[in-house]
Amino acid sequence: MRKRRIIPGVDPKLLIKDAAKVMPDPGRRFFLRGAASLGALTFLTGCDINDSFSAESVLRKISEFNDGAQALLFSQSKLAPTYPESAITKDFPFNAYYTEDEAPEVDGKAYKLIVGGMVENKKTWTLYELYALPQERQITRHVCVEGWSAIGSWTGARLSDFLKHIGADTRAKYVWFRCAEGYSNTIDMATAMHPQTQMTFKYGNEILPVKYGFPMKIRIPTKLGFKNPKHVMEMHVTNKDLGGYWEDKGYNWFSGL
């Protein structure tokens, strides 16, 4: 049991504030403060502020447990509902951790998708070659971790076909994606092999615009929006969880729908 102590003359709120200052990442800092706000309770009992840290680590552990629970619930044959064209959301929202005019401009002519890790054929792929892959269209619902959702039309190649094509070891645990702006995602192989998981080249009837992830987005209708990387430059088949931009900050890793 942790020893409780009350430091005379020290305002626990200020103490938290000071502790928060040394936390490098603003996300973690806010989280810490919030965890502490549970706690007028904790303040009153004079608990060591380290209790907030342990609350954070317990919650992370439970989030990892939830990854496992979601992987169990995930079924490769369960398809995300599809919608008629009339259901498509007008002005499908742009969403990122940067503004729309900051979205990376990738030169389509020079683009070469890098393929690495546990695959037999590591040749790079030009857009011309990628566009030649058999493609299909899906009208599915994009669900954001914030709660809103929007229905869009995406056209592209099945990731599962592509992975087989390049001789990927599909017994590997993960596929990792690196994006032009420094964003990244790691997804589980079961989801990568889902028939609706798509290397997307078109939104609606047009080549994928910059705001939706030119030249290639990975559309995963069985996962939350932030697990659908845009401007994908590289994919890596791996047994190591290489994390991702939001996952590393505390969002649930599996984030299945």
Partner 1 sequence: MSAQTADGGAVIHPRWVRITHWINAVAIIVMILSGWRIYNASPLFEDFDFPNEITLGGWLAGALQWHFAAMWLLVINGIVYVTLGILTGRFRRKFLPIRPGEVAADIKAALTFKLAHEDLSVYNAVQKLLYLGVILCGVIVVLSGLAIWKPVQLQELTALFGGYDIARYVHFFAMAAIVGFLLVHVALALLVPKSLRAMIAGK
Is residue 245 involved in binding partner 1 (CB under 8 A)?
Answer: no
User: Residue 129 and residue 32: Cα distance in Å, rounded?
Assistant: 48
State whether the Cα torsion 80-97-235-60 is positive or negative.
negative
Residue labelled with tokens 């590289």: 234
Q: How many residues bind partner 1 (CB under 8 A)?
A: 39
Torsion angle of alpha carbons 187, 124, 116, 237, nearest 10°?
30
Q: Does 68 bind partner 1 (CB under 8 A)?
A: no
**C-beta of 51 vs 234, nearer to partner 1:** 51
Least distance in angstroms from the C-beta of 127 to partner 1: 30
Binding mask 14-33 for partner 1 (x = CB under 8 A): -------------x--xxxx
Nearer to partner 1, 149 or 239 (CB): 149
Q: Is 53 in the site for partner 1 (CB under 8 A)?
A: no
Least distance CB 128 / partner 1 (angstroms) = 33
CB 91 within 8 Å of CB 148: no
Q: Does 221 bind partner 1 (CB under 8 A)?
A: yes
Task: Determine phi and psi for 201, rounding to 5 degrees.
Answer: -115, -15
Long-range CB pairs of 105-113, under 8 A, 24+ apart, other chains included: 105/210, 106/180, 106/214, 106/215, 106/231, 106/233, 108/214, 108/215, 111/215, 111/233, 113/216, 113/232, 113/233, 113/234, 113/235
127-156: contacts with partner 1 (CB under 8 A)? 141, 143-149
How far apart, in whole angstroms, are the C-alpha atoms of residue 94 and residue 178? 19
**Per CB under 8 A, which region of 78-86, 181-189, 208-216, 231-239 contacts partner 1?**
78-86
Looking at the Cβ atoms of 30 and 128, the one nearer to partner 1 is 30
DSSP H helices, 74-131, are 127-131
Beta carbon nearer to partner 1, 173 or 249:
249
Question: Which CB, 4 or 60, lies closer to partner 1?
Answer: 60
- The single residue among 19, 23, 37, 88 that binds partner 1, judged by CB under 8 A, is 37
| Closest CB 94 distance from partner 1, rounded Å | 15
Find tokens 């005019």 and name the residue: 101
> Can residue 59 be called a binding residue for partner 1 (CB under 8 A)?
yes
Question: Interface with partner 1 by CB under 8 A: which residues?
Answer: 27, 30-35, 37-38, 58-60, 62-63, 66, 73-75, 78-81, 141, 143-149, 221-222, 246, 249-252, 256-257
